[in-house]
Chain A
């Protein structure tokens, strides 16, 4: 048999692989993010939190990883757009009746929509925190991240936007986590139930901690 296949990364399987790989990379970042958020629960007027935030915005290694993170996000999005456009062409004539709910979960079919919501949330989120931090770092201004946090989350509209973003994140992760392992070829009678339940608890825990932060700050439970 001759070998007539296109390059790995151009193939449909290679694209899935990149989606899974960048996805898991972003998932691992969430752990770091959530741990820093949790620093507010020392309830020390944000002292620990500010220390962690300062480290994240000034440490050189973190700066480099941050670039990787943006590359990861962009790759994940670009790859998703390519896959979606390709898939739309795969069924030019739609069904008059299609009963999809019986055979798959709604969120597994809505990754594009959930991802779009997440991107919109991400833009708001970056504008709220990342941009001011960058400005402060480059102008050399002293920054009290914790005070900024309280200020932003005093706004109920922002609170709602964040909670919606976190719900989208939950469902995106719920499918994405286990889906990445399937794309890597890791599916096993013995281990897959574990991967799936780990993915569920991971998604739930991460999202609960993320959600707790704006809520507690809005309610003034943490000062």
Chain B
């Protein structure tokens, strides 16, 4: 074992399909470099499993640089692991110690059913988006950049909300499995811009209605989502959505 490498015990959720029960299965891994990412450690484990003719652990991942939001894992009881402000793919093994036991589970929510092992179906987020997470614009030549002046603070807040990558860590973390932070980010990014004003009323009403219909829980303002969100989406967005929703229901 080269210097600083670790031997770990992994307890990983294995589940063949959504309709079958799953359980935590223990896998020892040896000689893990602290410079590996968490997902690379999974790659090593999966190669060992394949070599032994066992089925590899299925987990979501795509960009491996914190922008796609696919790498959904609850690691030792925390969405995306022990660090804040990062996704699982940005987590490095140096965050663990030799001899550690690491428990890895999928996102747990009624609205995120398990597909296999650590992979969950997040299409509920897409259905919410489809209800209003867009603006209607005419196609044609792009407008002159300065003909719609937007205050810097609004532009920044909108941009920060738009940084949401739809990973679902907020739902996974929330004790109520509520999707408020995600939906609030998607509502806010448009609510702050003049382009979003046209559909403001129907957007928030329809997106909230879809959120409820998908079976997400109801927010109780514990604030856990904000802490675990890899993109630092703030609770202010939830307040903004509450406000938008209240206004939308008053005007129509």
Contacts and interface: CB of A to CB of B under 8 A. Distances in A.
A5 B227 CA distance: 30
B209 A2 contact: no
B108 A91 contact: yes
Shortest Cβ-Cβ A-B pairs, 6 listed: A185-B243, A187-B239, A90-B217, A99-B77, A185-B242, A5-B209
A104 B224 contact: yes
B109 interface: yes
B209 A104 contact: no
B223 A91 contact: no
Interface in A17-52: 17
A5 B210 CA distance: 8
B206 A90 contact: no
Interface residues of A, number: 47
B236 A188 contact: yes
A1 B238 CA distance: 22
B173 interface: yes
A93 B108 contact: yes
Contact of A98 (B11, B77, B240, B252): B77
Given A2-B202, A102-B227, A13 B175 contact: no
B219 interface: yes
Contacts of A15: 218
A97 B217 contact: no
B127 to A, nearest CB: 12
Contacts of B249: 8, 14
Contacts of A92: 110
A95 B246 contact: no
B218 A87 contact: yes
Contacts of A141: none
Nearest to A12: B218
Contacts of A98: 74, 77
A83 to B, nearest CB: 5
A157 B211 CA distance: 48
B228 A91 contact: no
B31 interface: no
B110 A4 contact: no
A96 B103 contact: yes
Contacts of B240: 185, 187
A94 B77 CA distance: 11
Nearest to B13: A96
A47 B239 CA distance: 47
Contacts of B176: 87, 90-91
A87 B227 contact: no
Contact of B224 (A13, A100, A185): A100
Contacts of B109: 90-91
A103 B236 contact: no
A11 B177 contact: no
A182 interface: yes
A100 B238 CA distance: 20
